[in-house]
Every structure is written in C-alpha cells, then in structure tokens.
Structure 1
Amino acid sequence: MHLLGIDIGTSSIKASVVDASSGSILASAQYPDNESAIIAPQAGWAEQDPSAWWSDAQQAILRLQHSLNLEEVSAIGIAYQMHGLVVVDKDQQVLRNSIIWCDSRAVALGDAAFDALGHEHSLQHLLNSPGNFTASKLAWVKNNEPELYAKIYKVMLPGDFIAMKLTGNISTSIQALSEGVFWDFQKDELSKELMEYYALSSDLIPEIKPLFSEHGQLKADVAALLGLKAGIPVAYKSGDQPNNALSLNVLQPGEVAATAGTSGVIYGISDALTYDQQSRVNTFAHVTYTPENKHTGVLLCINGTGSMYRWAKHNFAAELSYGELNALAAQAPIGSRGLLSLPFGNGAERMLNNTYTGARLQGIDLNVHTKADIFRAVQEGIAFAFRYGLDIMRENGMQPKVIRAGRANLFLSDLFAQTFVDVTGIPVELYDNDGSVGAALGAGIGSGIFGDPSEAFINQKQIKYLEPINSAAYEPIYGNWKQLLTQALANP
C-alpha cells in the first residue's frame, strides 16, 4: 500500500511516495529545479502565487510517474509553509497572492491587537501575541484592500488550499487555526475576542476537521491528470514544522526536532499550554493535539537561515553547488578568522521581538578573508542564531537532551551539523527523511492504514549521531556574535 506526501515549501514543492508496510521511500521528485521566487512589492513584504504552488505540485507528482504506478497510492498527505494567508471567492478562485510566513506588513496591527486584547489574555488564550500571523494578515487585507476583502468566501492556510485543489472541498483544523493565531486554547474554539477586535466574520473560517481525518476525496479530473486513483482521501494536512516533528517521530512531551531550510526552526513538544511572555518563541497545537490531549509545539523560528546561505551563494559563488560550497567553508578555521554573520535579513524576527535588523557580515579584512571564511561565517552565524533562540526556549522550561533532525538542507553540511551541536551543546540524531515523507506517513495515520502514530515509525532508523566536540572553542566567539547582535538591535 502506497502513500503520497506533498510538501509545499517556500523554495520548491516536493512529492514522495512511501511504502506503508516497510516505510521505504519508493520515489521522490521536486519542482521547480531552481528555487521559487518570493515576490516583495515593498521592503519587508513577502508574497507567492498560490496558483504557482498548485502548478508546481502537479509537476512534482507527474515526475513520480517515471518511477512507479501512482494508481497504487491509497491516501494523500500535505505539509506546507506555515502562517500564509490564502483567500478565495465562492468559485474557489484565488483573489490575491498569498501573504506568506516571512511577510512583516502586519506587525504593527498585531502589536496593537496585543495591547488592546491585553497581554495576559492573549498569551493565556492564544498562547501568542497576534503578531504578524495569519489573522493579522487578514486584518491587513480588510483594512487596506476592502473591495477585495468583500469578495472573500473562505480564508485558508497554504495546505488547505492545495487540499481544495485536489478535492474541491474546503476545510481546516485546530492546528491550522492555532498557527494562524485564530484559536482560543482555553475555550477550545475560534477566538471571539480576536475576531471581534479585528471585525472579521467567522463565516470566513472553513469547516474544522480533525487533522488526521478525511479532508475530501480526490476529484476524478485531477486523478486522471496526475495518474492517481479517483476517490482516494486527502487524510492529513499540517504546517511544515509540526510535520517535520512528526516525520522524526517527535510526538511526546520533551522530544525536540530541528530543521534548517529557508528558515531555521527548533520545535519542542509540551503537554502544557505554555507561552513566552514576550512571544519570542511561539506555541501552537501539535499534530497530536486534541481537547482531551493538549499536546503543543513550542516553536523557535529564525527567518533568515537557508535564505542567508542562498544569498551568499548567489552573490559570491553562484557557479558552485551547495556541496562544493560546504566543502569550501570547511577549509576555514573555527571562528572564520574573526568574520561574524547575522542571518536576519528575511523579515522581522519574532525571537528578536519582531525587530528587523537586516543581515550583516561584520569584520571583513580585505587582506585576510576569503570565500571560505565568508561561507563558514554564514554557517556559524546561523548556528549562533539557533543557540540564541534555544536559550530563550530554555528560559521557558524547554530543556532538550537530544535534538532530532532530517539530513536535509543545511544539515547536509557536515560542517554545519557539527557546528550546530558544538554551539548549542546538545547532541543531534540525524534521520533520512523530509517533509514530503512525513506528509505521506501522516496520510497513513489519517486514513487508518496505521492504527496509531507509533506504527508509522517502526522501521525508522537513525543514520548519524553527533556529540559536542568544540563547544569550548565556540563559546567566546558566540559572545562576540551576541555583542554584535546587541549593537544591531540598538541600531536596526
């Protein structure tokens, strides 16, 4: 029995087919080959066209046909970039580009809502400041594009949109609404106070279904186009970070996952409705959350990790592959001969109290530094940003003993993986999986092919275990980096 997982990423769409009985990956494909663009109409804004996601998802699935018969797929799961806003009319036509996760335009609106609703009320009920999350983005559309707002039939997260294109049905989940900061965790319902403050109609919210459940059946015309079997269920939809945790079997309180793609994330599971007083790290409903079993995910997000590395590649060594870039970076010494990097140039950073400092390379010596130093400094700066955020999580009671990560994106770099471990002081277990595989396994859980989540991971094997080696060497360098960040925050 085969399961199809689709991962709607910021830079590309990936699709994988997994054999449910063995857990093995039968085929994977990605589209486009080059990284998708982020549309930035103004500084601090970030948009993408949902229709392009759908087109790219189709192309990724069609590429799988070269490897196997897709008619053997029994269920579909979707993972997607979190916090994006998609709006459609009654004919299910997209009304505007999606305002995506790293867009900063709604920060001031969210801050005003935080003050008006009361900080304690917001944190206790929403577990977050409204910030620049999906609800605040919708309020921005209402305030700035009233004619368009009047045409909105339903509001969706990116995964809800792809499920709609596959099935014709529009639904959402508690988990999706929580990541949009629409959900009242104390009352386990849509937040009346937030909706009333922003003057948003609850009619815009789709039908709420359990995350692991049937969200619709594959339409016959879409099935014929993609070589799939009509009527199979879309049985799972999750934001990329909870889904990454699922893919790593991070389901129980105290377990922690990490990823370092376009953004960098540490995501820890709690069995309490915890929150950070400054909303620098955020708490959302985990994939296993139910009103009876309140598992939450405490999420640290750094917007500018892989995006910083991509920027450096394109501007300093576009001719090199990422593998060659990683090998080059490894030639530089620890500390990059005094060169420091702040990877914060991709929108307002929540862990920095929604401050936008821009990215920085500090201390360039024209007689000393080479490309190797630049690329090592960028990887070290990203690891330092993880450490800074992890210390915030520790302040809030998260004390990870080990972190699990997929061997993907920046964790493909042996240098980065070891630097991450050395700088944070926490061992890392690496696994051979990714978001599309997690989505496929989620589909197996949601469709009942697996009796419970644990069955999906019986065959999962660790491929590498990393322990700290050079933590003492990095500590003074991290102190210098932290001083640079303090200066940047004082003069953003």
Structure 2
Amino acid sequence: MYLGIDLGTSSVKVLLLDQRQGVLAVADAALDVSRPQPLWSEQDPQAWWAALDQAMQQLKAQVPAAMRQVRAIGLSGQMHGAVVLGQRRQVLRPAILWNDGRASAQCSALEAAVPRSRQITGNLAMPGFTAPKLLWLHQHEPEVFAQTRLVLLPKDWLRLKLTGEAVSDMSDASGTLWLDTGARCWSTEMLAACGLTGQHMPRLVEGTDVSGRLLQEVASAWGLPPDVPVAGGAGDNAATAVGVGAVRPGQGFVSLGTSGVIFLASDAFRPQPEAAVHAFAHALPQRWHQMSVMLSAASAFGWVTRLTQRASEAVLAQEAAQLSLSAREQAPLFLPYLSGERTPHNDAHASGTFIGLRPGHDAADLAYAVMEGVTFGLMDGLNAMQEKQPGKEALALVGGGARSDLWGQMIASGLRRSLTRDEGAQAAAALGAARLGWMADGGAQDEVCLAPQGGRPFEPDAQEASLLQQRYQQYRRLYPALQPWFGKQQLAA
C-alpha cells in the first residue's frame, strides 16, 4: 500500500493505492483562504495540519487494516507559498499563497538585481512566486524577515511535521525563483538578491528519493507502521502528471482546478519566459516540463455559482448546457482574471470582467460565459507554449471542473486537441504522490507511471470550434483595451 497526500488550496486529499494500481480509499478535508487586503491570499499552516489529520482519521476509519500495510508516503502540494519559520522552526506569520498578488513591485526589483534571472530560473518574476514574497516581507514586515531562519513550501512544511526533516523536491523548488532549474540546485545569486543564503533553504532531493521517515507519534495517531519512508514528492502539477502518466516528452494534461493549467513534459530544460510560460523541473530525474498557468479556473465557476445563488455547481452547469447555439453566440464575454493572471499577461492587477451584458441574460448565460472565458484563457496558454512544444498528442483532463461534460467538450473544441477524463481525475495529484512514494520504495517508473485506461473521451467538434474561434478573436481584443483601467482600479481601491 502507498499513501498519497495532496495539500491543495481548497482541501487536503489523501489516497491509498495498492500494488495493482487500485485506489482503495480516498478522503479529504476542506480549507479556507483568507484575503485580509486586496490582492492578498493567505492560509494558516496549522489549518493544513488539522485538515490532514481530519482526512487521515477518515482513512483510518475506512480501511484500518490497509493503513497498517502502508510501505511509503508521497507528498503533493500547492506551489509557490511562503512559510517562514523562526529559530525554533515556529511559523512566524500566515503563509502567503500562490495566488497572492501583493509583490508586483518586488518582481521588478528582483529582475533588476539579477539581470540573468530568467536564464537561471527559466521564468519571469511573478508575484505568485516565492522569492518576491520574501522581498515584500523584507520591506513591509522587516521584523518577521529578521527572525526568518527557514523558508518552506506548503507541502514541505507538512513534511517537517511528518518527519522532522526540512526537505524540498526539484519540481516544487522550481516555483520559488531560487532554483537553477537546468542544474537542479539552489542558485546562490538568486538567494543573495533576496537577502538569503542556502542556510535558509531546505535540502533538495528528487521526487522519487526518500526524504525522511515518519515520526513514531504521527504513525501511531494514524494507524500507520513506524518508520515509513516519505518520498520527495512534487508540486501539485508535476504530481498530477505522474498520476496521469505524463512523464515522456509531449505527454501532458489540462487541469481545471482552483487554477487552470496546461502541462507538457519535456526531456530538456526549455525556458520560454518571454511568453510567461513556466519552465520547471519534473518530479522525475532528468525530466522537465513547460506549463501555462491561469490563476482562476474552476474557482471562477464556483464564484459564479455563489453569485447566482444556485444550489450547486452541477445544477448551474446543467442550466448552461441547455443553451442553444444561438444563445451561446449572444452570451456575454468573460475575462477570467478574478485573481489576476499569469500566462500570457503576467498581470496581478487584471480583473474578472463581463462584457456585453443585456437585460435578457440570466444565470445560464453567465455560467456559459465563465466556462468559455476559462477555455479562452487555456487557449491563450497553449498558443504561448506551442512555439517550443508543438504537437497534437491527446491530453488528460483533470481537476474538479473536469466533472462537467459541457466544459470538457468546450475545451477540446477550443484547444483542438483530444482530451480524456479518467474517473479519478479529481484526485490525480494525490495518486501521483502515492506513485512517487511507490518509486521511493523501489518501484520502476515504467511499471508505476501508467496512463489511465478507458475514461471519457472528448473530441473537437468542428461547429463548436468555429464558434469559439470567432468569439476568441473578440476576447483577445479585450485585455489590451482594459489593461490601463485595471491598474487604475487597483490604485483606487
């Protein structure tokens, strides 16, 4: 048995995998996000631990005998978050999350301080990354920065609680802007620009390496064997790739989680920062990947569900599915920038916007517009990536938003790529984490990292693709027209 732990933004998921690739049990516990000021996004790490304990207690109650047979644990987690710890490894302040936009000015300062930063890291400096957050702390919370002795990513703080070891993996570390991504080691130049040294950083391992062993008191509380090895694990997207078998060049997935992602695996480090495309290390040795990221995807549909006061997202999605083709042609356009945007705009000030509202529009029209706007954001991302990652290979479809057939079909038509949704798509990151644990226990990559069989296919529809392309051209004109107003709006707020 192998245990996968995935620390997401909205929940913690845990999954138990047997050695026949069967998912024996899954449990989760919800998390909340705090937004104390405009552009801010924070969570209390103690809430992560409480949620993990809650999910593990569920798993223990469901399959106690299987829990006693766990051979290894893997970790996956939301990327980029800054957990700052003091001399006694105590948490000094709430964690600043990946979708926090406060550090725009610090991005410019960091790139000015290290002109080679994009070549070293493979990425633009963006507010969501970890390094600008520490520069922001240095300027705005100097007393916290002065006390900081260790900086951890979210899942690596859980690892510290699980094993007592301060360790990160290559894929998650790629999202800090402190990693020399091609060389797979910490960059002293990037650290120095933030007033830090290697002493502030966790030890680095590959995602398939053993990073530590489960503490006795934790094992006892959850009914696990003592001294279980914990794998290096991965950032959530690299873990998802392992979960869907996207480990060879050209393989990839589309994720409709809190954020929206297109992920393509690569056998080499191929940075493309000018297009705001991420170039990160994969969770597997000698593998890298490219990734486009939009900051609001399924979370935007959750927002419009609350806005329209529908009973559930499924109810609202069903209403949207009933719209005729002519109604879809007349639907408003939606810019899905509720938390700013990364690919291709790198603009923390960009805002969610409906364009073309009329008195006859209702909840179904708004829901369709949000789905379509997220689809257009993914099209932006794929277009940005295709210069260095051309191809037409089918992609996996994962994440909570993948439950909607309407949305899956829309994305396939918009991207003009075949998609396949596996039944376990919502827990792909936890599955990937479990598989990384399996490989840390000696499992062979070719035997462990299998692509799902079967699943729900989505093929591009020519009529829908034509409509989407027409509306996409209108959509693409909106951001340049509104971008000057976005900045003024934030200043006024």
- Scaled to the shorter chain, the TM-score interval is over 0.9
Post-superposition CA distance 1:37-95 (Å, at most 9, x none): 22122211111111101110110111112321211211111110011111122333211
Post-superposition CA distance 1:327-370 (Å, at most 9, x none): 1110123436231111101134342132422101111111x212
Post-superposition CA distance 1:467-487 (Å, at most 9, x none): 111212221111122222332
The one of 163, 168, 193 aligned to 1:167: 163
Which residue type is aligned with residue 446 of structure 2?
S
Paired residues of 1:235 and 1:442 also in contact (CA < 8 A): yes
SS at match of 1:215: strand
In the TM superposition, 1:251-262 aligns within 5 A as: 251-262=247-258
Do residues 374 (structure 1) and 373 (structure 2) align?
no
Judged with a 3 Å threshold, the aligned counterparts in structure 2 of structure 1 residues 116 and 90 are, in CA distance, closer, same or farther, namely: closer
| Partner of residue 27, structure 2 | 29
Do residues 414 (structure 1) and 413 (structure 2) align?
no
Paired residues of 1:336 and 1:374 also in contact (CA < 8 A): no
Do residues 338 (structure 1) and 337 (structure 2) align?
no
Deviates more, 1:298-307 or 1:227-236: 227-236
| Partner of residue 430, structure 1 | 421
| Partner of residue 6, structure 1 | 5
What TM-score, normalized to structure 1? 0.93
Paired residues of 2:331 and 2:366 also in contact (CA < 8 A): no
The one of 468, 472, 475 aligned to 1:481: 475
SS at match of 1:405: strand
Do residues 356 (structure 1) and 355 (structure 2) align?
no
Which residue type is aligned with residue 305 of structure 2?
K
The one of 32, 47, 61 aligned to 2:42: 47
Judged with a 3 Å threshold, the aligned counterparts in structure 2 of structure 1 residues 283 and 224 are, in CA distance, closer, same or farther, namely: same
Which residue type is aligned with residue 313 of structure 2?
Y
Structure 2 CA distance for aligned equivalents of residues 400 and 111 of structure 1: 36
What TM-score, normalized to structure 2? 0.92
Structure 2 CA distance for aligned equivalents of residues 238 and 186 of structure 1: 17
Post-superposition CA distance 1:361-419 (Å, at most 9, x none): 111111x212111111111111111111111111344434321123x411110000000
Do residues 304 (structure 1) and 304 (structure 2) align?
no
| Partner of residue 386, structure 2 | 394
In the TM superposition, 1:264-275 aligns within 5 A as: 264-275=260-271
Paired residues of 2:320 and 2:364 also in contact (CA < 8 A): yes
The one of 168, 189, 193 aligned to 2:189: 193
Give the superposition deviation at 1:128: 1.1
Could you tell me which runs of 5 or more consecutive residues in structure 1 were left unpaired when the two chains were aligned. none
SS at match of 2:413: helix
Structure 2 CA distance for aligned equivalents of residues 251 and 417 of structure 1: 22
Deviates more, 1:93-102 or 1:172-181: 172-181
| Partner of residue 151, structure 1 | 147
SS at match of 1:352: coil
SS at match of 1:87: strand
Which residue type is aligned with residue 55 of structure 1?
A
Paired residues of 2:170 and 2:206 also in contact (CA < 8 A): yes
The one of 87, 91, 94 aligned to 1:94: 91
Do residues 60 (structure 1) and 78 (structure 2) align?
no
| Partner of residue 491, structure 2 | none
Judged with a 3 Å threshold, the aligned counterparts in structure 2 of structure 1 residues 209 and 488 are, in CA distance, closer, same or farther, namely: same
Structure 2 CA distance for aligned equivalents of residues 115 and 276 of structure 1: 19
| Partner of residue 327, structure 1 | 318
Superposition RMSD in Å:
1.7
Which residue type is aligned with residue 347 of structure 2?
N
Which residue type is aligned with residue 315 of structure 2?
E
Could you tell me which runs of 5 or more consecutive residues in structure 2 were left unpaired when the two chains were aligned. 487-493
SS at match of 1:137: helix
**Number of aligned residues:** 476
Judged with a 3 Å threshold, the aligned counterparts in structure 2 of structure 1 residues 308 and 460 are, in CA distance, closer, same or farther, namely: closer
Structure 2 CA distance for aligned equivalents of residues 167 and 460 of structure 1: 31
| Partner of residue 248, structure 1 | 244
Paired residues of 1:342 and 1:360 also in contact (CA < 8 A): yes
Do residues 123 (structure 1) and 131 (structure 2) align?
no
Paired residues of 2:340 and 2:349 also in contact (CA < 8 A): yes
Which residue type is aligned with residue 438 of structure 2?
G
Which residue type is aligned with residue 375 of structure 2?
A
Which residue type is aligned with residue 79 of structure 1?
S
Give the superposition deviation at 1:173: 2.5
Which residue type is aligned with residue 25 of structure 1?
V
Structure 2 CA distance for aligned equivalents of residues 171 and 160 of structure 1: 6
SS at match of 1:172: strand
Which residue type is aligned with residue 265 of structure 2?
I
Structure 2 CA distance for aligned equivalents of residues 462 and 487 of structure 1: 44
Deviates more, 1:342-351 or 1:72-81: 342-351
